[in-house]
A and B are shown apart, each in its own frame.
Chain A
Amino acid sequence: MSTLHTVNKSPFERNALQSCVGHLMAGDAVLMIEDGVLGARNGSSAAAAVKAALENSSVYALSSDLAARGIKPEQLIEGVQAVDYGGFVDLVTQHARTVA
């Protein structure tokens, strides 16, 4: 009974990512979408939260939102996986719940 958590707010402006990470259960997944993908880039102050999430969960970022913001795949925090819209759908079906 795992949960997919979507985060669509910038971690530098809202605490959505931080709150999400604080409520993760082992085996959950985090999917960054829209301005949420800004937290997926390596070297920022949000990286610690993402790395904490990666300890017991999977972390994904939507590739179209990354591209729109000029973030390249090689700039992602190690362990963060880029997915397309099809991957988004797969994640939804793989988890019992989706929390936005």
Chain B
Amino acid sequence: MANKKRFLYVNRKAPHGTIYALESLEVVLIGAAFEQDVSLAFIDDGVFQLMAGQDTAAAGVKNFSRTYKALGDYEVRKFYVERESLEERGLTVEDLMPITYEDENEDYARSPRSCP
């Protein structure tokens, strides 16, 4: 695509309680569909979007947390999580879901934990 722009989506809201996180994810997918250069930042309560083991069955809301794991298939592979936001919430990267993707060219999986 001739007009490839770089987008950084800043996710600041916790999932499920409000619609912001899901709506953001929808917009990310749209950007990815247009083959834009997409990065995701998770700050403040946005870090809760990546919590491992989310089970929404009893709450009766859509569990879209699995979608983050599929973003690699849409070339969305740059995830940034603010360390200070994790610490304030008593979280570490170990509390977050592992997000890996297959690199078709080099055939290796990479986790966002290894990103700078």
Chain B residue numbers with a CB within 8 Å of A69 are: 14-16, 48, 51, 54
Q: Distance in Å from the Cβ of B45 to the closest Cβ of chain A? A: 5
Q: Distance in Å from the Cβ of A73 to the closest Cβ of chain B? A: 12
Contact flag A35-B17 (CB < 8 Å), given A64-B59, A68-B54: yes
Give 1 or 0 for each of A5-26: 1 = CB within 8 Å of chain B CB: 0001110110000000000000
Let me know if A67 is at the binding interface, CB within 8 A: yes
Chain A residue nearest in CB terms to B13: A13
User: Do A45 and B53 have beta carbons less than 8 Å apart?
Assistant: no
CA distance A1 to B57 in the complex (A): 35
Contact flag A68-B58 (CB < 8 Å), given A10-B45, A38-B14: yes
Chain A residue numbers with a CB within 8 Å of B95 are: 70
Task: How many A-B residue pairs have C-beta atoms within 8 angstroms? Tell me.
Answer: 75
User: Do B44 and A13 have beta carbons less than 8 Å apart?
Assistant: yes
Q: Distance in Å from the Cβ of B110 to the closest Cβ of chain A? A: 23
Number of interface residues, chain B, beta carbon within 8 A: 27
Q: B56 touches which one: A10, A47, A67, A72 (CB < 8 A)?
A: A67
A interface: dominant SS? loop
CA distance A96 to B10 in the complex (A): 43
Chain A residue numbers with a CB within 8 Å of B83 are: none
Q: A68 touches which one: B45, B55, B90, B91 (CB < 8 A)?
A: B55
User: Do A41 and B89 have beta carbons less than 8 Å apart?
Assistant: yes
Chain B residue nearest in CB terms to A13: B45
Let me know if A87 is at the binding interface, CB within 8 A: no
Contact flag A10-B17 (CB < 8 Å), given A41-B89, A67-B58, A68-B59: yes
Let me know if B52 is at the binding interface, CB within 8 A: yes
Chain A residue numbers with a CB within 8 Å of B13 are: 13
